[in-house]
């Protein structure tokens, strides 16, 4: 999926791309030709937008489960973004993703902090961020794999997958840079890295104490220390 950061402040990019692209492989017939020549793969049930004045994406908090927002018994489509607030690629994508609901009002758009939903990251192979999946019902159907993450490439991706055309008058605005998805990096604590460091430090201390205890139990070692 192009330059992407692991679930932490930094990491290798090419390696994650290779891993991610094996999760949802493209059908064999898609290996040749251009995207525009392909028939839409996903037949989305477009939602009724009557009475809806504002089209925006919803960001899930740590207590909300993605599966509760995806209806397995329907054929409606949802574009889900996995991001982290400290990833610069996520931040640069944010204003473009914020504008998508206006371009495709009949589709749904969700975003979640992947570091707060680690089980989902494992389940759907979103080991690097930003990561965008197109769901039909509760089933992931396609992954956005372009390195150029802009409104135009996102619109092309959705059209090629669903056949639904974007509204032509939608562009990234100042409001999109402000939210709801943050376009400014957040300096937060990487809890996973912190936990790993604490675990390593605890293990080293435990090993040191055990080693000293064993030395006192070995005959001759006690006298050596007394001398």
Closest CA to 173 of 96, 104, 79: 96
Residue 223 has pLDDT above 90, yes or no: no
Query: Structural domain boundaries of the chain?
Result: 58-178
Q: What CA–CA distance (Å, rounded) separates 22 from 26? A: 9
Average pLDDT, the chain: 78
Q: Is pLDDT of 218 > 90?
A: no
82-124 pLDDT tens trace: 998 888 999 999 999 999 999 999 999 999 998 888 777 677 7
CATH pick for 58-178 out of 1.10.287.130, 3.40.50.300, 3.40.30.10, 1.20.1050.10: 3.40.30.10
Contact 105, 55 (CB under 8 A): yes
Beta-bridge mates of residue 217 = none
CA distance 126 to 133: 9
Q: Tell which wins on pLDDT, 77 or 62.
A: 77
Mean pLDDT of 56-69: 89
- At 47 the pLDDT is 82
- Percent above pLDDT 70 for the chain: 70
Cα–Cα nearest to 135, from 70, 82, 47, 64? 70
Residues with Cβ within 8 Å of 7's Cβ and at least 6 positions away in sequence, in order, are: 84, 114, 115, 118, 121, 127, 128, 129, 192
At residue 155 the predicted structure's pLDDT band, cuts being 50, 70 and 90, is: very high
Reported confidence tier of residue 32, pLDDT bands at 50, 70, 90: very low
What is the rounded distance in angstroms from the CA atom of residue 111 to the CA atom of residue 132?
A: 9
Closest CA to 43 of 169, 143, 110, 139: 139
Residue given tokens 């489960």 in the structure block: 65
């Amino acid at each position: 999926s192009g330059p992407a950061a692991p679930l932490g402040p930094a990491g290798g990019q090419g390696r994650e791309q290779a891993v991610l692209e094996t999760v949802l492989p493209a059908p064999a017939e898609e290996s040749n030709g251009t995207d525009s020549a392909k028939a839409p793969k996903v037949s989305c049930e477009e939602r009724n937008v009557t009475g809806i004045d504002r089209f925006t994406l919803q960001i899930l908090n740590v207590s909300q489960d993605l599966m509760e927002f995806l209806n397995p018994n329907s054929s409606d489509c949802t574009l889900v973004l996995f991001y982290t607030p400290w990833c610069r690629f996520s931040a640069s994508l944010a204003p473009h993703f914020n504008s998508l609901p206006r371009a495709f009002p009949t589709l749904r758009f969700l975003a979640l902090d992947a570091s707060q939903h680690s089980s989902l990251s494992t389940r759907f192979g979103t080991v690097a961020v930003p990561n965008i999946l197109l769901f039909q019902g509760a089933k992931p159907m396609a992954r956005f794999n372009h390195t150029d993450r802009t409104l135009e490439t996102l619109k092309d991706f959705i059209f090629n997958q669903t056949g639904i055309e974007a509204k032509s008058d939608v562009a990234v605005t100042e409001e999109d840079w402000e939210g709801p998805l943050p376009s400014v990096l957040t300096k937060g604590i990487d809890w996973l890295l912190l936990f790993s460091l604490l675990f390593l430090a605890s293990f080293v201390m435990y090993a040191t104490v055990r080693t000293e205890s064993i030395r006192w139990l070995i005959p001759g070692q006690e006298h050596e220390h007394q001398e």
